[in-house]
Amino acid sequence: MKLPPFEYACPTSISEAVALLASHDGEAKPLAGGQSLVPMMAFRVASPSLLVDLRKVAELREIRITQDGVTLGAMVRWRDILEDARLLTAHPLLVAAVEHVAHYQIRNRGTVGGSIAHADPAAEMPGIVVTCDAQIAVMGRAGARTIAAGDFFQGPLMTALKPDEIITEIHFPLWPAKRRFGFQEFARRRGDFAMAAAAVFYDDDNGKARNAHVGVIGVADHPLRLSSVEAVINGQKIDDALIAKAEATTSAAVDPADDIHASGAYRKALVGVMVERALRAAAA
């Protein structure tokens, strides 16, 4: 299907990109890999008057690993993450989740910034940034600001971004070497969006879990952190009884709607199983 008409610009700096976005009264959109935006334009779900292509903004492509954690530039692609061996130790949960994103071709072009800005409730990256308390750095006409991932996602395809803002980078807090984690996803076919997924991590404190984080994907209109499940895990030894309690608490904490892929009741049960498996993987 042909795209609606649009103007095109390919800036080389963040400030130039922001100025271009601001010049079109909310009618311009950044273009990352085009993996969601171009189909949305083809289906007339989006009709921006100007596309601001970010591919030549080199500073958006960096992966930085420091004592403060991992920082991904918005234009880092799934493939860049999977090919960067440092991330296997610097942030293994991130790598485990990205292994479930789409197929080879899409991973060559899809970006972390595009995924977060697109805010698909079934996408892995929004779930990981919420689970990990990541900070999302954005730049707009009014300057730079940082948005906590937990405040960023407001509904399906809805975020806290203003029309003239671009995501510049995503910062993940330091990942301790001995942290335990699990990521489990159920999709109809490998590479499809998640029907339900769970990301879990905790720190081991003499055989008991501390600092538990539990995030779920695909069971609400945006990714969720489940504090009730974290409360079940914190201070406890991870054994069969605890895992069963965490599974039941997960299912009780969510209220997914029916859709064309599955009933809400099915997803409620499924996401409990995802948390159960993720906890088992973390404990193993």
Ligand X SMILES: Cc1cc2nc3c(=O)[nH]c(=O)nc-3n(C[C@H](O)[C@H](O)[C@H](O)COP(=O)(O)OP(=O)(O)OC[C@H]3O[C@@H](n4cnc5c(N)ncnc54)[C@H](O)[C@@H]3O)c2cc1C
Footprint of ligand X (CB under 6 A): 29-37, 54, 74, 101-102, 106, 109-111, 113-115, 117-118, 123-125, 161, 166-167, 191-193
The residues near 65 (Cβ < 8 Å, ≥ 6 apart) are: 71, 86, 87, 90
- 198: which 2 tokens? 């769970």
Our CB check for ligand X shows the closer of 101 and 262 to be 101
**Residue with smaller CB distance to ligand X, 18 or 229:** 18
CB 192 within 8 A of CB 218: no
Residue with Cβ nearer ligand X (37 or 209): 37
Q: Least distance in Å: CB of 75 to ligand X?
A: 7
CB of 6 to ligand X, least distance (A): 12
CA–CA distance, 280 with 179 (Å, rounded to integer): 14
In whole angstroms, the minimum distance from the beta carbon of 42 to ligand X comes to 11
Q: Are 75 and 61 in contact (CB under 8 A)?
A: yes
For residues 103, 105, 111 and 114, what is the CA-based torsion angle, rounded to 10 degrees? -80
Position of minimal CB gap to ligand X: 114
Q: Which residue has the tokens 């990301």?
A: 199
- C-alpha 190/C-alpha 171 separation (Å) is 28
Looking at the Cβ atoms of 137 and 248, the one nearer to ligand X is 137
Nearer to ligand X, 113 or 256 (CB): 113
Task: Supply the minimum distance, in Å, between the C-beta of residue 200 and ligand X.
Answer: 18
Q: Which of 134, 100, 110 is nearest to 215 (CA)?
A: 134
Q: Kindly tell me which of 113 and 272 has the beta carbon lying closer to ligand X.
A: 113
Q: In the complex, what is the shortest distance from the CB of residue 30 to ligand X, in angstroms, rounded to a whole number?
A: 4
Q: How far is the CB of 62 from ligand X (least distance, A)?
A: 13
Shortest Cβ 133–ligand X spacing (Å): 19
Can you list the positions of beta strands (E) in 149-271? Answer: 153-155, 158-159, 166-173, 180-186, 196-205, 208-217, 224-225
Look up tokens 């079934």; give the residue: 122
- Output the smallest distance, CB 114 to ligand X, in A: 2
Residue number with CB closer to ligand X (167 or 271) = 167
Of 113 and 215, nearer to ligand X (C-beta) is 113
CB 233, CB 210: distance < 8 Å: no
The 8-class DSSP code of residue 244 comes to H
Name the burial class of residue 34, with classes exposed (0-12), middle (13-18) and buried (19+) by CB atoms within 10 angstroms of its CB: middle
